Amino acid sequence: MQQHFPGGVNAGAGRSSWVRGWDHYFSASSDLLCVAGQDGFFRDLNPAWARTLGYTLEELRSASFFEFLHPDDHGITVQAMMGVVAAGGVTNAADPGTTMLINRYRRKDGTFARLAWTSVVVIDGLYYCVAQDTSARLEVEEALRASHERLQHLLLASGVGLYAIDYRGEPRLSFVSGNLRDQFGYTPEELREDPTLWSCRVHPDDRDRVIAELAALPTTGACCREYRWQRKDGTYRWVHDQTQLLRDAEGLPLEAVGSWQDVTARKEAERTIEQQAAALVELSTPLIPIHDQILVMPLIGMVDSRRAAQVMSTLLDGIAERSARFVILDITGVGIIDTKVADALLRAARAARLLGVEVILTGIRADVARTLVALEVDLRELLTFGKLQDGILHAMRRAQSKATR
């Protein structure tokens, strides 16, 4: 390097300590240092070039550096060289960490290294240059950029919005993913800059509960809630909101991260299912008036605890509404009679009797009779018939008999 060192120091002159220091720096530097001529050939290169590209220094000096450049980078490289001359022969990156040029040099294995040129000085027609291999850093940046884009696509596809709450000082919303704008109409900036926007948009019937759960987060560490939140267009949507608290090394609240998901469709589906289930329950416990004083409840299928409660409720409401005197419970269509079913029927009958109603049980088949005897079920409180018709006939006679008195 000394034969090209600015100031005319050459091999024949006494080498001062600072020249030796420069030689050491030139040889040991991890930066790529070189001297190049305007003819496109390297005059000198430090060993970092061989480590970076895989060629020997002789191989690099023996050919024009344009042969190592990526074809697409020839133009910008020539422009940069001309720009240095036009700038008076000295060009440095304006700020630390910035570059004046990034171009690609072919490695010996055929791949390309991305070199960032940070300083160029032109003296007597020679370019004194400093470059850095930024391949790894740029690959990481590109991977991060690709990962970020992939995350954004996933968020858009999933319909899940992310947010973060900074607990250093007064809790504040510090991050909101951009896809929430598509769901709720507000930009991330609007949500972050107005600390009251989120709470004011919670449905009044849900607000106290939701705010109390969030206020308890530093103690509970996590919370999961569903509530209605008003979009910018004024409509309400159901939101599934899940939050997890992060703490610092001392256990103090540091940040909360969470997710928002519009679950309106699921809520509406659940409401529809509940309405259908209620309709099915009503259909499963019909109460049919066949006379001013007589009601018939035909039971079909299984009688579980929920349906037994519905039988009781429907029966008592019907008796009170119609002032009935007789109720016929027909179990012809009940497939299985066990202790629980028999107990449910007895409780319904006792409740009806407290209202002054006579309860008749019909549909007692032979197998049902054997089961009830085996279970030692006491049905002495009920009048029983094998057929519904017989029960109806008995109730009609009793009603007529009472009417003629």
Do 133 and 185 fall within a single domain? no
The CATH number of the domain holding residue 176 is 3.30.450.20
Is 323 a domain residue? yes
d(CA 360, CA 381): 10
Q: What mean pLDDT is predicted for residues 127-134?
A: 91
Q: Are strands 101-106 and 222-230 parallel, antiparallel or unpaired?
A: unpaired
Do 195 and 97 fall within a single domain? no
Number of domains in the chain: 3
Across 306-310, 338-342, 386-390, the highest mean pLDDT is recorded for 386-390
**Percent share of the chain, pLDDT over 90:** 40
Is residue 237 predicted with pLDDT exceeding 90?
Answer: yes
Domain boundary among 138, 170, 201: 138
Do 205 and 261 fall within a single domain? yes
- The whole-number pLDDT of residue 97 equals 44
Domain boundary among 267, 297, 326: 267
Is 8 a domain residue? no
Predicted TM-score (pTM) above 0.85: no
Is residue 157 predicted with pLDDT exceeding 80?
Answer: no
d(CA 247, CA 290): 70
Is 180 a domain residue? yes
Which domain, by its residues, includes 207?
159-267
d(CA 217, CA 185): 27
Give DSSP secondary structure letters for 68-119.
TB-GGGHHHHHHHHHHHHHTTSEEE-SSTT--SEEEEEE-TTS-EEEEEEEE
The CATH number of the domain holding residue 364 is 3.30.750.24
Do 21 and 134 fall within a single domain? yes
Do 221 and 298 fall within a single domain? no
Is residue 292 predicted with pLDDT exceeding 80?
Answer: yes
188-212 per-position pLDDT tens digit:
899 999 989 999 999 999 999 999 9
Do 250 and 291 fall within a single domain? no
- The whole-number pLDDT of residue 96 equals 46
Domain boundary among 103, 138, 173: 138
Is 274 a domain residue? no
Q: What mean pLDDT is predicted for residues 344-364?
A: 88
Is 51 a domain residue? yes
- The whole-number pLDDT of residue 52 equals 94
- The whole-number pLDDT of residue 64 equals 94
Do 210 and 317 fall within a single domain? no
248-277 per-position pLDDT tens digit:
999 999 999 999 999 999 999 988 888 877
- The whole-number pLDDT of residue 256 equals 93
Is residue 227 predicted with pLDDT exceeding 90?
Answer: yes
Do 128 and 180 fall within a single domain? no
- Which comes out higher in pLDDT, residue 4 or 181? 181
Do 263 and 294 fall within a single domain? no
Do 215 and 260 fall within a single domain? yes
Do 22 and 133 fall within a single domain? yes
Is residue 384 predicted with pLDDT exceeding 90?
Answer: no
Q: Considering all CA atoms of the chain, what is the largest pairwise distance in Å, rounded to the nearest integer?
A: 146
Is residue 241 predicted with pLDDT exceeding 90?
Answer: yes
Copy the structure tokens of residue 244: 């997890």
Is 242 a domain residue? yes
Do 110 and 68 fall within a single domain? yes
Is 129 a domain residue? yes
The least confident of 34-43, 314-323, 366-375 is 366-375
93-116 per-position pLDDT tens digit:
554 444 578 999 999 999 999 999
The least confident of 139-143, 195-199, 216-220, 234-238 is 139-143
Is 5 a domain residue? no
- In whole numbers, what is the pLDDT of the chain averaged over residues? 85
d(CA 80, CA 217): 57
- The whole-number pLDDT of residue 404 equals 60
Copy the structure tokens of residue 57: 């220094």
- The whole-number pLDDT of residue 344 equals 83
